Amino acid sequence: MGIAFKEIADRVYLLRQPLLDVNVTLVVGDGAALVVDTLSTARQATELLSAVRGLTTDPLVVVNTHHHFDHCFGNAALAADGPVPIYAHEETVRLLREQPALVRRQAYDEVLPADPGLATELVRTTILAPTHPVRQEATVDVGGRTVLLRHLGRGHTEGDLVVQVPDADVLVAGDLIEQSGPPAFEDAFPLEWVETVAGLLRCLTPGTVVVPGHGTVVDTEFVRVQHDDLATMSWLIRNGDADRAPAERVAQRTPFGPEAGLAAVQRGYAELRGDA
């Protein structure tokens, strides 16, 4: 059985790609549809497009929440039938347009130890840069449905974009929020991430359905807990830096475990030095 979408709100659908438990969101309007994130490879994205076409034959608009391979390397496959507007934060656009070889190399090096087959597919996949840069906010009309794109600040990456569907009370958070594992900090801004998620919380209602970058949908309370954990980690990083404590020691006390914590502390120290 192929991958398939499940409706999570009025004409808003979620697909979870099993390989990395990464989420794709589909918003269907009258005569248009919007796809948030496009998976990792041409093969995955071709399967994704087939699942989309099982629900709608309308013209598509695409949004990339950030530049990591599992959220945008499928762009070209979704645009194979003709030009597709692709929205992303301007930093995501810059990286994918000006430094695709670097983005691909980072993805390859990350994936190779655990999945050589996927790493090979990444090498063969065409990287298509987004066409519509967003600085802070943009509004997209999706067949009569208003969809808001917002950059709330740096966090998981420099160019995180969240997608809000107000008439369905759904917010797609990308990897600013993680459910199936700890947040990833390898090129993150852990000290700024706290305030970015605080801004995200201000966009939510008690009943908002929040789509994380990976894992099952969550609610406002889950986001609040993750914000508090990020705040605790920020405090530990700042105090560790003031005490000149080794990153490895501080990482043992972070809420996300020693492995994710080490990446977070190292990036946090770099932020405080101005090197991030």
Phi first, then psi, for residue 75 (nearest 5°) are: -55, -45
Domain extents for the chain? 6-273
Place of tokens 């499940």: 6
Helix (H, G, I), strand (E, B) or coil at 134: strand
Residue 1 pLDDT exceeds 80: no
Residue 2 pLDDT exceeds 80: no
pTM of the model: 0.96
CATH architecture, domain defined by 6-273: 4-Layer Sandwich (3.60)
**Where does the pLDDT of residue 74 fall: very low under 50, low under 70, confident under 90, or very high at 90 and above?**
very high
Amino acid letter, residue 227: H
Residue 159 pLDDT exceeds 60: yes
pLDDT digits (tens, 9 = 90+) for 204-240: 999 999 999 999 999 999 999 999 999 999 999 999 9
Could you say which DSSP state residue 157 is in? S
Rounded to 5 degrees, what angle do the CA atoms 250, 253, 255 make?
125
**Where does the pLDDT of residue 81 fall: very low under 50, low under 70, confident under 90, or very high at 90 and above?**
confident
| pLDDT value, residue 4 | 92
**Where does the pLDDT of residue 276 fall: very low under 50, low under 70, confident under 90, or very high at 90 and above?**
confident
Of 110, 129, 108, 127, the C-alpha closest to 119 is: 108
| pLDDT value, residue 8 | 98
Could you say which DSSP state residue 167 is in? G
pLDDT digits (tens, 9 = 90+) for 108-158: 999 999 999 999 999 999 999 999 999 999 999 999 999 999 999 999 999
Of 105, 4, 12, the C-alpha closest to 49 is: 4
